[in-house]
Chain A
Amino acid sequence: MKIVVLMKQVPNTTEMLIDAKTGTLIRTGVDSIMNPDDTSALEAALKIKDANGAQVIVITMGPPQAAGMLRECYGRGVDHALLISDAAFAGADTWATSNTLAAAIKNVNPDLIFAGRQAIDGDTAQVGPQVAERLNIPQVTYVSKIVEVAKDHIIVKKHYEDFDETLKVSFPCLLTTLEQLDHLRFMNVTEAWGSFDKPIETVNNQVLQLKPSDIGLKGSPTQVRKTFTRPVSSEVKLIHGGSEEAIRAILSTLAPYIH
């Protein structure tokens, strides 16, 4: 069985600060991490490998430094890592990203594909379903648990707003996982040492041969018109004083809503 895991290296948005003067994100000094939802996807794939035997292939599209993340994946027992990287792929929205990822996946021909539900930089949750669409295979998104893995199908739990479903889906298929599905294991010492010698296969557009109109910024139907940070208002009435005063203020504010 062949399993592909789609992983993205993202800036740690918890650490991000806004430059008050320019209203832009300060990116320097912010470390790059594995996208949280993707870590559970990787662990799910590795657990299937442990239990049933499988070849686990991690694929990422990104700049050359994403190779660092792939090394960490090797350190956890991944069999092969692919870095899809080319200036022509840069600036892609989800439509162009999924075209590129799907083209690379076709060459691998996996039984099962995992993606994270959502990447914390773009927060779109669109790449997984769009890859599945390009490959014309079924998907289950928001997977919170793997229930059973059989030869030709998998049974998973999907999490909705207020209920859960247990679903059976045949291979090949794509699953997107929630962070809560599992915790990624630590690196194994021997694998970690070995990971530095393992080859990371770089795939550029000479390999994939996609049309310029289908990839990168040029191939993206959506464009960012502008970005901005939340305007700060200063109209708040701050009550310092003791609790008497505080309670009086709260009561008079609540009055119109409780009678």
Chain B
Amino acid sequence: MTKDIFVYIETRQNIVAEVSLQLLSEARKLKGQYAEKGMNHDVVAVLPGYQIENLTPILFRYGADKVILCEHEKLKEATTQHTTKVLADVIRHCQPDSVLIGATVIGRDIAPRVAARVDTGLTADATIIEVDMTSDTSLLLVTRPAFGGNLFGTIVCPNHRPQMATIRPNVFEKIEKEANQGEIIRFETELDATDWVEILKREVQQAKANDIAKARIIVSAGRSMVKHMDLIRSLADTLHAEVGASRGLVETGVLGKDVQVGQTGKTVRPLVYIACGISGAVQHTAGMDKAECIIAINSDPNAAIFQIAHVGIVGDAVTILPKLTEELNKILN
């Protein structure tokens, strides 16, 4: 019988991707749900890379019971070709019950190929994952948005194992546990000597100074703020916040796509999200509705954003924002 939840650990330059830690912690919750059903699933971190054994303690700390360490010079970079091979080999050899992969650019590149190679189902870009408590199987219920966020679907993979899913970054919290050690299993595999793809150049995107995905407070602007970005920026500066945006605003070109929040942008989970002149289309709210506190300013009392806001201000952002910044400056200085 297959058991165990495998989590693919994505790394870049010897740093574990946040989403991988979030998935380890979430897998631990699934382990708890399985335990309620009398099933014993371990959380296993699959770590491909080169000279990366030093990364194992953090994996145990955020939820792994075991780590499968796959070290090979060819795994220095997370390439499609070699990472797919390693993951498929690990899956064939260990027969896990499920495999979770972060829905990053790398994860969404590799996961479909792995699923095709081991001939199983893959659910894309999921936001909720839970154990089916109504059956006596180990079935997972994996929920994801579709149709541009208009509809949600719960997807199951009843007759194939492992059950695979890519999961959106920042929808789950990472949770520390006491232990930072456990069993390390080394997995050796043969990799092609020739590379399919040659990396000629790597450039950091210029506009990419700050990462809204990590911000504590986000001041976010909608299309109507296109001529008033100075108001948005000074509020953000006062609050030491990052500036985010709806697609409506990004389409005007005043801000780059890297600050777009939502279905086709980033998922954010700040403490405070201040939505200024944002209508609240599902494609936008899909990326920010997990914020602890949502403050929305919109002149239309029927704006959809008010359905998810904790505090809704019906009014003109252009008059409210400068006064708000002024008051905050008084308090903070």
**Chain A residues near B (Cβ < 8 Å):** 11, 13-14, 16-18, 25, 93-95, 98, 120-130, 132-134, 138-142, 155, 159-170, 173, 180, 220-230, 232-240, 242-243, 246-247, 249-251, 253-254, 257-258
User: B residues 296-332 with Cβ under 8 Å of A?
Assistant: 297, 301, 306-315, 319-320, 323-324, 327-328, 331-332
A-B interface, 5 closest residue pairs, ranked by CB to CB distance from nearest? A221-B121, A13-B148, A138-B196, A222-B121, A124-B124
Whether B204 lies near A16 (C-beta < 8 A) is no
Interface of B is mostly: mixed
Binds A, one of B29-37, B50-58, B150-158: B150-158
B121 touches A258 (CB 8 A): no
Residues in B whose Cβ lies below 8 Å from that of A161: 104-105
Q: Does B113 lie within 8 Å of A139, measured CB to CB?
A: yes
5 A–B contacts from the bound complex (CB under 8 Å): A123-B124, A129-B109, A130-B113, A224-B155, A253-B295
In the complex, the answer to whether B151 meets A229 with C-beta atoms within 8 Å is yes
CB within 8 A of A253: which of B123, B148, B152, B293? B293
A227 to B145, CA, bound (A): 9
The smallest C-beta distance from B320 to any residue of chain A, in angstroms, reads 5
CA distance A230 to B110 in the complex (A): 30
Q: How far in angstroms is the closest Cβ of chain A from B208? A: 5
Is B153 in contact with A168, judged by CB distance below 8 angstroms? no
Distance to closest chain A CB from B304 (angstroms)? 9
Q: Does residue B43 face the partner (Cβ distance < 8 Å to A)?
A: no
Query: In whole angstroms, what is the CA distance A13 to B146 when docked?
Result: 9
Q: List B residues at the A interface (Cβ < 8 Å).
A: 80-81, 84, 104-106, 108-113, 115-117, 119-125, 141, 144-148, 150-160, 196-205, 208, 211, 216-217, 239, 257-258, 263, 271-272, 274, 282, 285, 293, 295, 297, 301, 306-315, 319-320, 323-324, 327-328, 331-332
Are B125 and A130 in contact, CB atoms less than 8 angstroms apart? Answer: no
Residues of A within 8 A of B106 (CB): 160
- In the complex, which of the residues B109, B239, B293 has the most CB atoms of chain A within 10 Å of its own CB atom? B109
| Chain B residues closer than 8 Å to A139, beta-carbon distance | 80, 109, 113
List of B residues within 8 angstroms of A254 by Cβ: 239, 272, 295, 328
**What is the CA–CA distance of A170 and B81 in the complex, to the nearest angstrom?**
14
* Contact A11 to B147, CB < 8 A, known contacts A94-B122, A126-B124, A222-B122: yes
Contact A93 B121 (CB under 8 A): yes
Residues of A within 8 A of B157 (CB): 221-223
Chain A residues lying within 8 Å of B198, measured Cβ to Cβ, are: 167-169
- Complex Cα distance, B301 from A250, in Å, reads 17
Assess the B150–A166 pair: CB atoms within 8 A: no
C-alpha gap A238/B312 in the complex (Å): 5
